[in-house]
Structure 1
Amino acid sequence: MRGRCRGTGWRHQEADTAFFIQEYGALGRLRQVLDRLTTACAGALHPAGTSHEQERTMGKKWSELPRWQRRATAVLAPVEVVLTVVAAIDLARRTEQQVRGPKAVWWPVLFVQPVGPVAYLGWGRRRPGK
């Protein structure tokens, strides 16, 4: 038992493993293992009264989402990606003096979606002549 978190379910059924590998490939299996570890080791990650298995089934498939959510996601996801790429390119090209605060702090901020790139582009850059 040493070196393991309790309740990780390492000895689960072969059919469960085969299903995940067949359905989601090796990355799906890795995600399943990581989900079990974080559930067992992190404690209160789930809403009150739900188990890990119940929470996993709470997510909806793309086809089950309402039409407005699918459209909003299809429009906003590329906008988010473009903003992040533009901010990352801009940050990489600027010198330390052209950025408000240390560049090392802005890099992780860029990946806090959706506010990180907007914060950098709005407040993180120094204007020419200032």
Structure 2
Amino acid sequence: MACKKCPKKRWKDLSKGAKYAIVLAGCVQLGLQVAALRDLSQRTPAQVNGSKSTWLAASFINFAGPIAYFLRGRKKE
């Protein structure tokens, strides 16, 4: 719930630094997700800890999903 004393900021109200940080974070998130999805698609179910469909869904959780996949989802070869 938004604070009545804190009006919503619009994109045009943000500083250049804040805009840059948001775009950079979005690019990092997208890069992590693409990398996780690509890696997941190239692995067999035997090479993945747990269900591939579960990791597929988890990859859509911002930052945490793809990072968790790379740390816990892939079996060490």
TM-score by length of 1: 0.52
Over 3 Å counting, the alpha-carbon distance change for 1:70 and 1:49 in structure 2 is closer
Which runs of structure 2 are paired with 1:107-118 in the superposition (5 Å)? 107-118=56-67
RMSD, matched Cα: 1.9
Aligned residues: 75
SS class of match (1:73): helix
Q: Confirm whether residue 124 of structure 1 aligns to residue 77 of structure 2.
A: no
1:96 aligned residue = 45
How big is the shift at 1:49? Answer: 8.3
AA at the equivalent of 1:100: N
Aligned counterparts of 2:40 and 2:61: Cα–Cα separation in 1? 15
AA at the equivalent of 2:52: K
* Residue 77 (structure 1) aligned to one of 11, 22, 26: 26
AA at the equivalent of 2:62: Q
Give the percent of matched residue pairs that are identical in Structure 1 and Structure 2. 33
Aligned counterparts of 1:120 and 1:75: Cα–Cα separation in 2? 21
Ranges of 4+ aligned residues in structure 1 off by more than 6 Å: none
Q: Could you say which structure has the greater relative contact order, defined with CA pairs below 8 angstroms and 6 or more residues apart?
A: 2
TM-score by length of 2: 0.83
